[in-house]
Amino acid sequence: MALGKLPLGERILLTGVTGQVGGELWKTLKSLGDVVAPERATMDLANAGSVRETIRSVRPRWIVNPGAYTAVDKAESEPELAYAINAEAVRVIGEEARALGAGVIHFSTDYVFDGLGNKPYAETDATGPVSVYGASKLAGEKALRDSGAAHMIFRTSWVYGTRGRNFLLTILKLARERETLRIVADQYGAPTWSRDLARMTAHVIGRSEADAQTTGFETATQDASGVYHAAGGGETTWFGFAAEALQLQYEMEPGVRLAAVEAIPTDQYPTPAKRPLNSRLNCSKLTQRFGWTMMDWRNSLREVLAEI
């Protein structure tokens, strides 16, 4: 199916442009039309009035919201700020989008689940966050759903890329500084490349715009509304991710001195916020509805390391 572009004069409003996913979206979404990406000084997600004012000024056709409070451990001591950005700002986005007839794409997280299951979570499985961060993101999902705006919520996991703060970049740095790295080996999930998320988002908007040419924009976006899981293909542990990354790095840079990797259980690496042991997400709904399959984490890791 051919993908559509935005009608002439319509805009995409993008939040969080300085973040991992936002930076990739900025480059990817421009192929669809005009993208407005205000930085925090203009659109502060911690300030509901700022969010509302910006949306009313831009009057976008789409609002794409990767912006979030993502400091998982710090959120335990800053719950008000986490909820302001991850829930209240999303509520305002939904209300304003509904008033404009705009579509919303919002990113959420595997942390909305308790992590006690032993198989990949489906979108219909019961949620039960075990951290402030997870609870604030779940509250944002509910606020967007209750707003009545056409919306697509993409839950993802273990996001990484070539920029920002992420597990891969930290491991690559520490591996050159230390003799041994002790990495948790009993939390299961799938690393997700930020660029793959951006490409998926552009594909979804393009599909929706193509559908809109037949059914109209409101029908196309409302019909597609809902929660979708969008994480890297396959599964591993944080230990498996680190070990694979360092092995590939050694293959690309023979002779480099890198740390050994030691597997440890979660209880040997205490953190302020509890992490779900099972972060695996079933992404079949995304493939069925939009014809998009996320990259296997090993393949995306090779591409990211080659780019770094």
HSE-up of residue 305 (Cα within 13 Å, Cβ side): 23
Quickly count: other Cβ atoms within 10 Å of residue 53's Cβ.
15
Written as tens digits, the pLDDT of the chain (308 aa) is 578 999 999 999 999 999 999 999 999 999 999 999 999 999 999 999 999 999 999 999 999 999 999 999 999 999 999 999 999 999 999 999 999 999 999 999 999 999 998 999 999 999 999 999 999 999 999 999 999 999 999 999 999 999 888 999 999 999 999 999 999 999 999 999 999 999 999 999 999 999 999 999 999 999 999 999 999 999 999 999 999 999 999 999 998 999 999 999 999 999 999 999 999 999 999 999 999 999 999 999 999 999 98
For Cα atoms 291, 293, 147, give the angle at the middle one, nearest 5 degrees.
70
| Contact yes or no for 234/190 (Cβ under 8 A) | yes
Please pick, among 69, 121, 133, 160, the residue that the annotation labels catalytic. 133
For Cα atoms 110, 116, 119, give the angle at the middle one, nearest 5 degrees.
75
Whole-model pTM: value is 0.97
Which numeric CATH code is attached to 11-165+191-234+276-295? 3.40.50.720
For the question of residue 111 being annotated catalytic, the response is: no
